[in-house]
Amino acid sequence: MYSFDLNKFQYNNYNTVKSVKATPVEKNDYTVKSMPVTNPIMREIPFNPAFTASSLRTELVSNDEKNKYNALLNIADRDTKKRLNTLLKTGILLNADSNNKSTVLDNLYKIASEERAQGLDNANLLKETTAILYDPHVITQQFGNIPAAYREKVASIAQPNPNEANVQHSGTCVASSIEFNLAQKHPAEFARFVQGLSSPAMSVDKTIKLSNLADNTLDAVWLLNAFEIPYEANDFNEAKLKFAPDKNAVIRAHIQTVDKNPSERSSVDVLMQSTFMQVGSQQSYDTLTDKRAGKFNQNDKGLIEFEKTFTESVVEDKNKISMTYQKVDENAKLIGYETDFNTIKKHITDALNLGENVIIGYTQVDNTNTIINGHEITITGIKNDKNGKTVFICNDTDDGINKPVEYSEDFLLPKIHHATYPQSVVANDINLTENWAEGIKRYKEMKNAA
């Protein structure tokens, strides 16, 4: 889920759309219905791994690569060996699209051969990471139960409300969607994150361009300070950020290492989702309770649009713009749209044509059009049905299905509240309020309401 401020309903993002150059559509032009529990259109989509390496390599060349690959095979189980072979043949294993130019193979080797954080297991991490890279649709946000052997310890840490550790419905859909996107589109960076987050340091450094946060360096620095992410900025161009999970993440990760049911998160999911929740919530997340604090959100679950967009931008080191499409009044009632559905479809299609996934936030409404829930999913592709209508191919980390799902345009488009794109996709269609200005405005509103 993503968060709603029902006292003063609004979504904020750090590049908030103020106007759209398209014909507005009022709510009477389309019937808005609530999202059903089951998927209306769903069938298996053939797995088609995607990656962004500048050159595709499918053969081990150097002795170093061969030695690392053989070392992985020596500790891998049968399924992991098959997946490693597939990753090699498809070019993913030697993909080097990471922040430090290390390959998937380099990072898998470190995961398998170097010391891990206390409570984590090398072979298990190798298996989980390889499985995710082979098919990112296995990523889930489903929390695991607390086994009896760990309940007393967890309860003592989760004070003053120990029962909050029994999470039934997680609020990590934004974080898990970002995890999915990183694994599918940037496999070497995903493997590098897993390696760093599972190491004794339990952190990973990433150098980003400040221009991907704001046109002005001081505005970019304001954002980094506002989100309280540790960083070093030695010049006006780049900053080195430190990503880390919250202090309790290793407890959940250990439990998922030794007591994981098939439908639950892997230890890799725990570490990645905790880290991205930390980034978005201004370092205030607690993995044991799935609760957060932070200055931008009065809700203690999930991330709001502003926080989501910042997190996507720093994780991918890209200038991301969040488009808000639905008009919502102060009572959380959906009253119309900022633009027509063809424009929304064009934005999504243009992003997909650039090789980008599109993480969207959709809403569920009751029979009075009042929003009762929100959720984030990822659009990964499109196709046409027999009638020429667009069908969106999506990934949902909360549906219990490790496969893509399909939604017709008539079903999905009316439900999209916001979507995040590379700036180039929407730059000609919108007028923007600069991210730092919108962030300051939101912060002051929250302070005044306190």
CATH code where residue 402 lies: 3.90.70
Highest mean pLDDT (candidates 25-34, 76-85, 140-149): 76-85
Last residue of some domain: 245, 280, 315? 280
One domain for residues 245 and 321 = no
Using only the alpha carbons of the chain, give its radius of gyration.
21
In a domain, 5, yes or no: no
- 260-319: pLDDT as tens digits: 999 999 999 999 999 999 999 999 999 999 999 998 888 899 999 989 999 999 999 999
One domain for residues 267 and 330 = no
In a domain, 3, yes or no: no
Average pLDDT score over residue span 372-379 = 96
**Cis geometry, peptide bond prior to residue 160 (ω within 30 degrees of 0):** yes
In a domain, 292, yes or no: no
Highest mean pLDDT (candidates 29-33, 234-238, 375-379): 375-379
Strand positions, DSSP E, 223-357: 231-232, 238-243, 320-324, 326-328, 334-337
In a domain, 422, yes or no: yes
Q: What is the pTM of this model?
A: 0.88
One domain for residues 98 and 207 = yes
One domain for residues 40 and 125 = no
Q: What share of the chain is helix, strand, coil (3-state, %, to 5)?
A: 40, 20, 40
CA distance 217 to 239: 10
| pLDDT at residue 445 greater than cutoff 80 | no
CA distance 243 to 168: 27
One domain for residues 189 and 222 = yes
Burial class (CB in 10 A: 0-12, 13-18, 19+), 431: exposed
- 36-68: pLDDT as tens digits: 333 433 333 334 444 444 479 999 999 999 999
Query: Which domain, by its residues, includes 344?
Result: 17-48+306-449
Q: How far is CA 275 from the centre of its chain?
A: 10
One domain for residues 72 and 22 = no
